[in-house]
Amino acid sequence: MAYEVLTAFFLEAGFLGVMLFGMNKVGKKLHFAATAMVALGTLVSATWILSVNSWMHTPVGFEMGANGQFLPGPSWWDIVFNPSFPYRLLHTVTASYLTVALVVGGVGAWHLMKDRTNIHARKMFSMAMWMAALVAPTQIFVGDMHGLNTLEHQPAKVMAMEGHFDSHPEGAPLILFGIPNSAEKRIDYALEIPKASSLILKHDHDAPMAGLDTIPDENEPPVGIVFWSFRIMISIGFAMLGLGAWSVLARMRGKLYDWTLLHRAALIMAPSGFVAVIAGWITTEVGRQPFVIYGLMRTADAASPLDAPAVAASLLAFVLVYFAVFGVGVWYIMRLMAKVPHAGELDAKHGDTGPIRTAGITPGPTQNPGGKETLPTEAPVEKEPV
């Protein structure tokens, strides 16, 4: 955490204000540089946070102190680059980019549904759909690699994700849907493809796969939650892939900006990345249970030694502060998104009080008889997005 504060926190915090409120106050180049710095800062932040979190899933490079403390071993790099870190970093960072792309796509679609000719809404939509088309399949591929790494280091989590209560010595089925029944240790109403899980996870449809029956009951993660959250994440991943493929088809037919159904789908899917990210984290963290440091320290043993009221008070303070900050942030961003996009992102309040440019005529003063706020009447000519 100290590394994060030192290398990223000030970078993000310092430039965030310029990025959010400085569009009309600093030049375009400085605004772009500030935005790039925020992006870099969040990437560096994510790197450190995910390294710590990954270590708790795949702990290596430490020694046990006499009183049960975890002490760093000879190399910090073993700790930082622990076995699940590269996969988690790639999967989570790709998830954030995809999430943002879907939001931008939804906002672009919303404005296109109101005015198909808006060149800036077209550009937003086009760029977001390129991201969905290219990054969604990448995310599915990275997710698959991540799953293989999890199978190696946290097999019980994968058993819960797959809903495998029983071992399958001759190839395990891929359970698409069903209702986990933890009391009876089976999946009710299972809809499954025989041997497909062995094929995906072991690349051999006859490969034996151990189930939760090989894990002591007290080490079993809560199967129902992990099973469902995993399916929510995967379904959204494939829905994103579908949206990206649909946009490619629309592009090929020259209907990217005219296919209202596609715009509606993009609008509906605008928040889907957030849902997938939360579902992914639930899969990861609930799947780690009952351990806080996998295989070494149980969550129950990591409980705070403070009295419950003290813990509750600080938790309440966190919830209140986060709700307030997050609430204002969401309100501000929703307002930005509702504005019709136009060149230079001028703030409607300040208006463009510069000269109105008319082809072939020397610019004249702005016509503003009622003293009302004005917006640019015509966007500068820009190239049509592909």
Question: Distance between CA atoms of 128 and 240, rounded to whole angstroms?
Answer: 11
Residue closer to ligand HEM by CB (options 122, 288) is 288
Between 109 and 226, CB nearer to ligand HEM: 226
Distance CA 203, CA 49 (A): 32
Q: Name the minimum Å distance from CB 377 to ligand HEM.
A: 40
How buried is 245 (Cβ within 10 angstroms: 0-12 exposed, 13-18 middle, 19+ buried)? middle
Cβ(208)–Cβ(170) below 8 Å: yes
Q: Identify whether the C-beta of residue 230 lies closer than 8 Å to the C-beta of residue 177.
A: no
The binding site for ligand HEM (CB under 6 A) comprises 84, 88, 91-92, 95, 98-99, 139-140, 143-144, 146-147, 150, 154, 157, 233-234, 236-238, 240, 273, 276-277, 280-281, 283-284, 287
What's the one-letter identity of residue 78? D
Whole-angstrom distance, CA of residue 187 vs CA of residue 164: 8
The type of residue at 280 is G
CB 157 to ligand HEM: min, Å: 6
SS3 at position 340: coil
How far apart are CB 45 and ligand HEM at their closest, in Å? 15
CA–CA distance, 43 with 224 (Å, rounded to integer): 33
Shorter beta-carbon distance to ligand HEM: residue 84 or 118? 84
Between residues 23 and 151, which has the closer beta carbon with respect to ligand HEM? 151
Taking the complex as a whole, the smallest distance from the CB of residue 80 to ligand HEM amounts, in Å, to 17
Closest contact distance (angstroms) between CB of 278 and ligand HEM is: 8
Q: Which is nearer to ligand HEM, 200 or 343 (CB)?
A: 200
Report the C-alpha gap between 63 and 177 in whole angstroms: 43
- Least Å from the CB of residue 3 to ligand HEM: 20
Residue 290: is the preceding peptide bond cis (ω within 30°)?
Answer: yes
Our CB check for ligand HEM shows the closer of 231 and 342 to be 231
Closer Cβ to ligand HEM, 39 or 275, answer by number: 275
Minimum CB separation from ligand HEM for residue 213, in Å?
A: 21
CB of 172 to ligand HEM, least distance (A): 16
Nearest of 103, 122, 110 to residue 339 by alpha carbon? 110
Q: For residues 362 and 189, what is the distance between their CA atoms, to the nearest angstrom?
A: 75
Identify which of residues 180 and 341 has a Cβ nearer to ligand HEM in the complex. 180
Burial profile 52-91: b = 16 or more Cβ within 10 angstroms, e = fewer: ebbbbbbbebbeeeeeeebeeeeeeeebbbbbbbbbbbbb
